[in-house]
């Protein structure tokens, strides 16, 4: 995010070019570095009592760096952390494949 104008309800975002984690999981080519980087993010977020939306469409890999491109942030709840919820969609799990089938 580059700028916010709350008065007129506008935000200015930078375009991040690259594949989403969702696309990489779909085609079975998610690099291990993505998991390492999201876990590093968790290491900063959890102590700050914060959860983000770990769904894989919200992450883009550009030049070997993982970017979170959504703005959802919530108070930390263990049931919605990466290990208990997000991770289910970062590999070709039954939950991921069900989502793919229901959202062609």
* Structural contact between residues 75 and 51, judged by C-beta atoms closer than 8 angstroms: yes
C-alpha distances (whole Å) from 56 to each of 47, 69, 104 are 22, 10, 16
Where are any strands of DSSP class E within the chain? 3-5, 10-12, 19-20, 50-52, 59-62, 65-68, 73-75
pLDDT tens string 19-51 = 999 999 999 999 999 999 999 999 999 999 999
pLDDT above 90 (res 4): no
pLDDT above 80 (res 1): no
Q: Per-domain residue ranges for the chain? A: 17-102
pLDDT above 80 (res 56): yes
What's the pLDDT score for residue 27?
Answer: 97
| Residue 55 to residue 43: CA distance in whole angstroms | 17
Whole-prediction pTM value?
0.90
pLDDT tens string 66-100 = 999 998 999 999 999 999 999 999 999 999 999 99
């Amino acid at each position: 995010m580059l700028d916010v104008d709350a008065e007129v309800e506008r935000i200015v975002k930078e375009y991040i070019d690259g594949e989403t984690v969702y696309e990489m999981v779909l085609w079975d080519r998610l690099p291990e570095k993505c998991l390492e980087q999201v876990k590093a993010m968790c290491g900063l977020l959890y102590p700050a009592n914060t959860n983000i939306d770990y769904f894989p469409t919200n992450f883009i890999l550009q030049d070997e760096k993982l970017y979170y491109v959504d703005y959802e942030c919530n108070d930390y709840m263990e049931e919605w952390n990466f290990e208990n919820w997000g991770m289910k969609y970062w590999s070709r799990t039954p939950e991921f494949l069900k989502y793919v089938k229901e959202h062609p």
